[in-house]
């Protein structure tokens, strides 16, 4: 839960900076999204891929937490925001 809170706070901070000067959203690569998920944590990435869901590119990152649980993070590739 603590790691999820860290990720949520990070994406809230990042989301304010994701717009370019021309007001078009900046995209985030799968590699960037993966780095942001594990940054500052002891999580281990088990896999990462990009899928098309409801017409949007979504980065799905599979993570092994320090307590042995598997979590999936879904990140909108266009905005960089965490998807529920």
Non-local CB neighbours of 66 within 8 Å, separated by 6+ positions: 42, 43
pTM comes to 0.68
Tens-digit pLDDT profile for residues 49-72: 999 999 999 999 999 999 999 999
CB 28 within 8 A of CB 75: yes
Taking only the tens place, the pLDDT of each residue in 70-82 is 999 999 999 999 9
Q: Which domain holds residue 62?
A: 2-83
Q: How many domains are there within the chain?
A: 1
């Amino acid at each position: 839960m603590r790691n999820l809170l860290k990720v949520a706070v990070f994406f809230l901070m990042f989301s304010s900076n994701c717009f370019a000067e021309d007001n078009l959203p900046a995209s985030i690569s799968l590699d960037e999204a993966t780095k942001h998920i594990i940054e500052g944590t002891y999580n281990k990435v088990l896999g990462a891929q990009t899928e098309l869901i409801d017409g949007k590119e979504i980065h799905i990152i599979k993570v092994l937490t320090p307590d042995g649980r598997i979590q999936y993070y879904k990140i909108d590739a266009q905005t960089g925001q965490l998807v529920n």
